[in-house]
Chains A and B, each alone.
Chain A
Amino acid sequence: MLATGTLTLLQDAGRPGLAHLGVTGSGAADQGSYRAANRLVGNAAGEAVLESVLGGIVLRARGALLVAVTGATGSVVVERSGGRAAVEHPVGCSFTLGDGDVVRVGPPTQGLRTTLAVRGGFAVPPTLGSRSSDVLSGLGPAPLRAGDVLPVGDVAGEWPEATLLPGAIGRRWGRMLAVTPGPRADLVGAAGLPRLLATEWTVSAASNRVGVRLVGPQSAPGSGGHALTLPSEGMIVGAVQLPPSGEPVVFLRDHPVTGGYPVIAVLTPEAVDVAAQLRPGDAVGFEAVHG
């Protein structure tokens, strides 16, 4: 690992089934891009990948590797050893690296998070069955640093059946998040779900893998606010929580397992992936769909 950019983490399918012990699901923020990247290198489901925020990954290969980059759209350049010309690849395809080749993932032009998979997976030791970094509790591998050497697992599986996934390349970058009514929509009334659907929100810079924080057009203190808190109750990825400030939080994969603010809406699984690619400053809206 020669450089990590703003933040590069190891992620996989996460830690399902441990929320009753206080451990959140975690896992790759954009699961669609995660699955596509593993598929492109012929990995079994569940192998660990790199997930970077705003690009910036620079890796040098030790030995020959098969690699794929998915997620946020940006430049992927391979600087080849032995004085050969550099090669640029699109996001959404697989490519090979020779010993000593360097791959650079540039800052994305669209989207926030880039996924980089290697055939065999990044074989760091798992914690509670997963190699995901959970930024809320600190479980799993530490954020990567320049100079880290990442082990690659042995592969016994099939070769990939596709080298290019048009869906991963031609992805539509959403500005609308599909939701169903949340379990506490009825408690908040007009300040809750109707206001959520009617407002154009802006993504706050305070967003991370825990959640996407949103601010309204007129962030006058108290506008759309309420005084409702509940006894803490279980939360899921995609839950849209409405704190008393009236500024909603969309929970991503490292969300707290319980929370005490009303959940007024819940994103569809596809919308969770869209939300994971929103950048600070993006405008975003919500549309109701049938559960």
Chain B
Amino acid sequence: MTGAPRASASPLGLQLRPVGASALLAEVPDARSALALYSRLRAQPSAPPSLDGVIDAVPAERTVLVTFDPGRTDAARVRRWLLEAADAAAAAGPAAAGWAAQGSAVAGPTDGPHRVDIRVTYDGPDLDDVARTLGLTVGDLIALHTGTRWTAAFIGFAPGFAYLTGDDAGRLTLPRRSTPRSSVPAGSVALAAGYCGVYPRESPGGWHLIGRTEATLWDAGRPAPALLAPGTAVRFVDTG
């Protein structure tokens, strides 16, 4: 194994970089490609990776980190598995990133474990400021937020905190708050940096709070602890 990234005409612009002897970092050009690649590595968001000996596949903004047990598989096999997944993702085209998109011809908007509706009360302390900053009325902001098809791209910050990307998220992009809050309540629905997120538990936070939900985002005691595993399609529903 060499340290040189795999260049040239790899599908999806994939580059593979070794991370020690038991992990490979798969780098792709953008978030959509990362999700497209990631969603070829598991049968569904809550399923284990489809190659024996692979411990985890961890999506992020432009990468998928794959960790494996060198006693049960080897780097060459994991590389082949990733290249085949990239081939399949590239062949399916950019619209097919994520499980919900792959199955959209047959599944309804809330069918299956990889589509989730989240009921939101839009009364967050930053709602008016966010609307003003984006040049929208509060009504338009809520309509845009509920009308956007969101997808959990990756988890960061805390267990179960999904970074949601949206097909129309460009119009909902604003930087983090200049002063983070020392305490944000669990269930807060928030926007920042082109992403939407829902705080799984009370924590400090620098995102703009636009609403709240009663949904339990994280429960270590249930079989699928994270409501929004990467790849899950999300729709927000206004309870108001």
Chain A residues near B (Cβ < 8 Å): 16-23, 127-128, 137, 139, 180-186, 231-236, 238-239, 257-258, 263, 266-269, 291
Contacts and interface: CB of A to CB of B under 8 A. Distances in A.
Interface in B73-125: none
Nearest to B16: A183
Given A234-B60, A234-B63, A258-B58, A183 B17 contact: yes
B58 to A, nearest CB: 4
Nearest to A185: B3
Interface residue SS majority, chain A: loop
Contact of A21 (B22, B27, B226): B226
A22 B67 contact: no
A291 B18 contact: yes
13 contacts: A16-B67, A17-B55, A19-B67, A20-B59, A22-B160, A180-B20, A231-B63, A233-B27, A234-B59, A235-B65, A236-B20, A258-B154, A291-B21
A180 B21 contact: yes
Nearest to A257: B58
Nearest to B30: A231
A181 B19 CA distance: 8
Given A263-B19, A266-B19, A268-B21, A236 B67 contact: yes
B189 interface: no
A19 B56 contact: yes
Interface residue SS majority, chain B: loop
A191 B65 CA distance: 25
B37 interface: no
Given A19-B67, A233-B62, A239 B220 contact: no
Nearest to B45: A20
Nearest to B20: A266
Interface string B132-171: 0000000000000000000000111111110000000000
Contacts of A186: 3, 5
B158 A183 contact: no
B220 A139 contact: yes
B25 A231 contact: no
A21 B159 contact: yes
B1 interface: yes
Nearest to B156: A258
Contacts of A185: 3
A183 B19 contact: yes
A268 B20 contact: yes
A110 B131 CA distance: 59
Interface string B175-216: 000000000000000000000000000000000000000000
A248 to B, nearest CB: 16
Nearest to A16: B55
Contacts of B25: 183, 233-234
A185 B48 CA distance: 30
Given A182-B19, A234-B25, A236-B65, 14 more contacts: A19-B65, A20-B56, A20-B58, A21-B155, A22-B155, A22-B157, A23-B159, A137-B158, A180-B21, A186-B3, A186-B5, A236-B23, A258-B154, A268-B20
B225 interface: yes
Nearest to A234: B65
Contact of B155 (A17, A257, A266): A257
Contacts of A180: 3, 18, 20-21
Contacts of A127: 220
A271 to B, nearest CB: 10
A263 B17 CA distance: 11
A57 to B, nearest CB: 27
B233 interface: no
B60 A258 contact: yes
A268 B20 CA distance: 7
B19 A22 contact: no
Contact of A291 (B1, B61, B63, B67): B1
B108 to A, nearest CB: 26
Nearest to A127: B220
Nearest to B229: A21
B23 A231 contact: no
Contacts of A236: 19-20, 22-23, 65, 67
B184 to A, nearest CB: 16
B102 to A, nearest CB: 18
